């Protein structure tokens, strides 16, 4: 039985997906919540939130993500970074998953990716869990109800957590599988309930499609000055570096918190919502995000709560440090209504330095920006991926290697062109440790980070003196009004200066070793600013 509003010529049957049980098309959030409760998928929380657990997997499974290798992808995918799946393996996976789905209840949400209509991608989400439908209604952009009557998917994502893959038959690694067939415009996900796989698979697809059109695809957040879309900033960074928190500034308009494109007109959001980490979330430091955790329909993922009062415990990470909330962008009072803005005047690259040796802010030349973008140094924070229990220093090119299907130079060259064409100022901002490495030092005060970012965005840093860092070569402000001077110079925050020097040298050596892979692909200007 089918119910809900859908293009009558584009039901699942028209896509060759037959024999299912009840299929619900484009239900509203309230209807999906009813279904989720009836199926025992979660509970209603304070304010009408949706409280859910993702079971065994509370983070992404990057080693189980595959791209089908065929005549379309053979010469366009960065195979050193993306695990191949054979065409035969995918065909078997598709057949077996569709057979597994027969007789079961499914939910279909027809949605848009990309706020810029010129680059819009129609995405059909087919989910076994009703709450996954809620999640994706938040994450992507919702068509008007009348637009559903003529909706034709350009990408279909099928997520069946109860399906277990067969590594030998499906040419994958384990029972968990995320398989992208870019030729068929079809993504199959099985064996994991973690909702983040849905949005990141769409993001990966866009990262493949948009560069062909000369559009820079970015793992970043973005905001602009009130009433001035020409004063835009983008914030690159992996999960845990502060992208969501720092871009949700009450004094600026939020464009989006995670995924954007940059074309000849400016910046546009891929998404229609936010997926924020809630560990240690504070109503004082992050009031806008905190407020969403008691708003109707917000998906509260893997959080401990009191069963009597339903009060959330933001400090209890016993389920996972990767606890999150997902909500529509319009839940943020100062969010952009359009999701589009002008060219960035400031490009911020966020890093979470577990060594504790990078300054809280440094100015980069365009060549240094290219270098740090390709390097993508940060620390994986606990819980973001399976098996990560404490910060691990890592290099994730383009600040998002798990989601980059093409070689990094494709994105790096696009970024460098955009920076040069639009005269953006670039900054490296460390939200990691100060006064010592992880375990000894302390996390960079968010108040100081916000203060330094404000100084960068409002032009205050144009008036201060800078000096070159002896280890890393970038420019560091000598003094900034309102910021403790010692904090600007990490060595001064360490009690043992020689220990700092040793840590700095260790990180320099890591930068040097990592960047050797890119030397054949970059010009002499970038080589000249290489660290080490």
**Taking the CA of residue 53 as centre, how many other CA atoms within 13 Å lie in the half-sphere pointing to its CB?**
8
Strands 50-52 and 299-301: parallel
Q: Crossing angle, helix 408-422 and helix 366-375, to 10 degrees?
A: 150
Assess contact for 324 and 200: CB atoms under 8 A. no
Q: What is the 3-state secondary structure (H, E, C) of 21-48?
A: CCEEECCCHHHHHHHHHHCCCEEECHHH
Measure the CA–CA gap between 226 and 62, rounded to whole angstroms: 38
Please report which helix (H) or strand (E) contains residue 420, including its range: helix 408-422
Would you name the residues annotated as active-site residues? 60, 200, 219, 239, 243-244, 258, 324
State the alpha helices, DSSP H only, in 175-314. Answer: 196-209, 243-247, 287-292
How many other C-beta atoms can be found within 10 angstroms of the C-beta atom of residue 72?
A: 14
User: Sheet of 186-190: strands edge to edge?
Assistant: 2-4, 23-25, 106-113, 121-127, 155-160, 186-190, 177-181, 65-68, 83-85
C-alpha to C-alpha distance for 459 and 130, rounded to whole angstroms: 47
Contact status, residue 232 vs residue 345, Cβ threshold 8 Å: yes
Question: Apex CA 22: angle with CA 16 and CA 25, to 5°?
Answer: 75
Query: Where is 136: in which H helix or E strand?
Result: helix 130-139
Torsion, CA 503, CA 505, CA 511, CA 512, rounded to 10: -160
Q: What's the CA dihedral at 460, 240, 217, 177 to 10 degrees?
A: 180
Q: How many other β-carbons are positioned within 10 Å of the β-carbon of residue 206? A: 23
Q: Enumerate long-range contacts of 86-90, CB under 8 Å, 24 or more apart.
A: 86/171, 88/171, 89/169, 89/170, 89/171, 89/172, 90/170, 90/171, 90/179, 90/181, 90/188
Cα dihedral 34, 38, 40, 44 sign: positive
The pair of three-digit structure tokens given for residue 416, joined into one six-digit string = 């460098």
> 84-97 burial, b for 16+ CB within 10 Å, e for fewer?
ebeeebbebbbebb
Paired with 262 in beta bridges are: 216, 267
């Amino acid at each position: 039985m089918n119910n809900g509003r859908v293009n009558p010529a584009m039901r699942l049957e028209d896509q060759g997906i037959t024999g299912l049980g009840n299929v619900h098309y484009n239900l509203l959030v309230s209807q999906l919540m009813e279904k989720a409760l009836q199926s025992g998928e979660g509970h209603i929380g304070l304010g009408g939130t949706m409280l859910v657990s993702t079971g065994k997997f509370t983070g992404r499974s990057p080693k189980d993500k595959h791209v089908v290798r065929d005549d379309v992808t053979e010469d366009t995918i960065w195979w050193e970074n993306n695990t191949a799946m054979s065409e035969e393996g995918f065909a078997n996976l598709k057949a077996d998953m569709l057979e597994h789905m027969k007789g079961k209840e499914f939910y279909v949400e027809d949605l848009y990716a990309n706020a810029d209509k010129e680059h819009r991608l129609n995405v059909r989400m087919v989910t076994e869990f009703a709450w996954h439908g809620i999640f994706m209604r938040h994450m992507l952009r919702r068509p008007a109800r009348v637009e559903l009557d003529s909706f034709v998917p350009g990408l279909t994502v099928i997520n069946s957590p109860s399906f277990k893959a067969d590594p030998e038959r499906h040419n994958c690694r384990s029972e968990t599988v995320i398989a992208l067939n870019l030729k068929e415009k079809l993504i199959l996900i099985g064996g994991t309930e973690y909702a983040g796989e849905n949005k990141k698979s769409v993001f990966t697809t866009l990262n493949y499609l948009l560069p062909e059109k000369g559009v820079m695809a970015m793992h970043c957040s973005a905001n602009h000055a009130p009433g001035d879309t020409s004063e835009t900033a983008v914030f690159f960074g992996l999960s845990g570096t502060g992208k969501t928190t720092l871009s949700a500034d009450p004094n600026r308009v939020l464009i989006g918190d995670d995924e954007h494109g940059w074309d000849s007109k400016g910046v546009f959001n891929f998404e229609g919502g936010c997926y924020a980490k809630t560990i240690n979330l504070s109503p004082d430091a992050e009031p806008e995000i905190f407020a969403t955790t008691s708003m109707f329909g917000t998906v509260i993922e893997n959080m401990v709560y009191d069963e009597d009062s339903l009060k959330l415990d933001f400090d209890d990470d016993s389920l996972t440090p990767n606890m999150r909330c997902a909500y529509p962008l319009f839940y943020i009072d100062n969010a952009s209504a359009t999701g589009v803005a002008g060219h960035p005047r400031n490009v911020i690259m966020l890093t979470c330095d577990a060594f504790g040796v990078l300054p809280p802010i440094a100015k980069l030349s365009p060549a240094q920006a290219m270098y740090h973008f390709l390097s993508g140094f940060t620390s994986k924070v606990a819980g973001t991926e399976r098996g990560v229990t404490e910060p691990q220093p890592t290099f994730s090119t383009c600040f998002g290697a798990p989601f980059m299907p093409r070689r990094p130079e494709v994105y790096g060259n696009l970024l460098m062109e955009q920076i040069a064409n639009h005269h953006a100022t670039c900054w490296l901002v460390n939200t990691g440790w100060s006064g010592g490495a992880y375990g000894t030092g302390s996390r960079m005060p968010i108040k100081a980070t916000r203060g330094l970012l404000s100084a960068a965005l409002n032009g205050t840093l144009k008036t201060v003196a800078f000096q070159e860092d002896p280890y890393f070569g970038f420019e560091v402000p000598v003094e900034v009004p309102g910021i403790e001077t010692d904090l600007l110079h990490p060595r001064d925050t360490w009690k043992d200066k020689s220990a700092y020097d040793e840590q700095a040298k260790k990180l320099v050596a890591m930068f040097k070793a990592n960047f050797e892979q890119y030397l054949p692909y970059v010009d002499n200007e970038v080589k000249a600013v290489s660290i080490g």
